[in-house]
């Protein structure tokens, strides 16, 4: 079903992982795609020829000026998926590293705010658009050792709610996704690293995570992409200011 035919979506952090899964899903629904990612990441992404790559580090000093220029150059813009972010190492509050804190906030929070600022007016054109921000279960379920990541995702949730109020009058909807543990390459890499450092074996750790969900399995990138398509498209036309969990019923 080409429910996004004639629409254009900008996906930040869209060259790999969840961002790529979302971009593929929106493209399959008919959208034209612009993918923003790091200059060192895009060359290896093997994007479809009809996608527009935007090589940009959202934490760069000139990121706002450059992103605004790229957004102005798009023929139209109907959808923003603000997915670019990072997962820092787990640390207790007593061990916080504030240089790391500033780096992670610069991307996970300031980068999302920057993306919204630079796209808000374009999203309001052509009858209004939709922004989907990437939050996390950490936005509503804090966990030990994850103070920094949790703080950034709480901030994204607050930003989403405020932006929904600011932009609703221009028919722009703003929502968020809150994935739980998702069976991505990045998650498997972290599990393998912990196993190599003496932690649980990979299969045991994945089974343990799956066992904490009501469905008895982990959410997949495809699950997150389906939720993004729902929030981005016309089926959610009366939904704004909402955070949608995608975590297979995490207990």
CA-to-CA distance for 197 and 138, rounded, in angstroms?
25
pLDDT at position 209 is 77
Task: Spell out the domain ranges in the chain.
Answer: 8-181+220-246, 183-218
Where in the sequence numbering do the catalytic residues fall? 149
Q: Sign of the CA dihedral 105, 39, 173, 218?
A: negative
pLDDT of residue 188 exceeding 70, the answer is no
Q: How confident is the model at residue 213 (pLDDT cuts 50, 70, 90)?
A: confident
Residue 175's DSSP bridge partners are 132
pLDDT at position 144 is 86
What would the 3-class secondary structure string for 55-118 be? ECCCCCCCHHHHHHHHHHHCCCCCEEEECCCCCCCCECHHHCCHHHHHHHHHHHHHHHHHHHHH
Instruction: Quote the mean pLDDT of the chain.
Output: 93
Answer whether CATH 3.40.50.150 is correct for domain 8-181+220-246.
Answer: no
pLDDT at position 251 is 65
Beta strands, E only, the chain: 8-12, 32-37, 52-55, 79-82, 130-134, 173-179, 243-246
pTM equals 0.93
Q: If you compute the radius of gyration of the chain from its CA atoms, what whole number of angstroms results? A: 18
Answer for the pair 64, 71: CB distance below 8 angstroms, yes or no: no
Residues 6+ apart with CB under 8 A from 209: 181, 218
Q: How does pLDDT run across 15-65, given as a tens digit for each residue?
A: 999 999 999 999 999 999 999 999 999 999 999 999 999 999 999 999 999
Between 142 and 26, the more confident residue is 26
Which DSSP helix (H) or strand (E) runs through 206? Answer: helix 202-210
CA-to-CA distance for 101 and 98, rounded, in angstroms?
4
Q: How does pLDDT run across 102-123, given as a tens digit for each residue?
A: 999 999 999 999 999 999 999 9
Total H helices, total E strands in the chain: 8, 7
Q: How confident is the model at residue 1 (pLDDT cuts 50, 70, 90)?
A: low
CA-to-CA distance for 129 and 222, rounded, in angstroms?
23
């Amino acid at each position: 079903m080409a429910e996004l035919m004639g629409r254009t979506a900008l996906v930040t952090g869209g060259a790999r992982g969840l961002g790529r899964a979302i971009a593929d899903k929106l493209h399959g629904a008919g959208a034209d795609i612009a993918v923003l990612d790091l200059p060192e990441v895009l060359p290896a992404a093997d994007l479809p020829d009809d996608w527009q790559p935007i090589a940009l580090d959202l934490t760069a000093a000139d990121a706002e000026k450059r992103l605004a220029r790229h957004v102005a150059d798009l023929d139209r813009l109907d959808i923003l998926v603000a997915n670019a972010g990072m997962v820092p190492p787990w640390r207790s509050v007593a061990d916080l590293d504030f240089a790391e804190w500033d780096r992670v906030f610069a991307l996970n929070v300031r980068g999302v705010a920057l993306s919204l600022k630079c796209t808000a007016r374009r999203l309001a054109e052509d009858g209004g658009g939709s922004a989907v921000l990437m939050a996390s279960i950490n936005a509503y379920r804090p966990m030990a050792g994850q103070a920094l990541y949790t703080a950034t995702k709480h901030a994204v949730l607050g930003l989403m709610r405020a932006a929904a109020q600011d932009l609703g009058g221009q028919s722009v909807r703003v929502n968020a996704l809150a994935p739980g543990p998702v069976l991505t390459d990045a998650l498997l890499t972290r599990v393998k690293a912990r196993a190599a450092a003496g932690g649980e074996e990979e299969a045991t750790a994945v089974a343990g995570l799956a066992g904490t969900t009501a469905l008895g399995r982990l959410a997949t990138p495809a699950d997150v992409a389906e939720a993004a398509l729902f929030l981005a498209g016309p089926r959610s036309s009366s939904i704004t200011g909402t955070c949608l969990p995608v975590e297979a019923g995490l207990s």
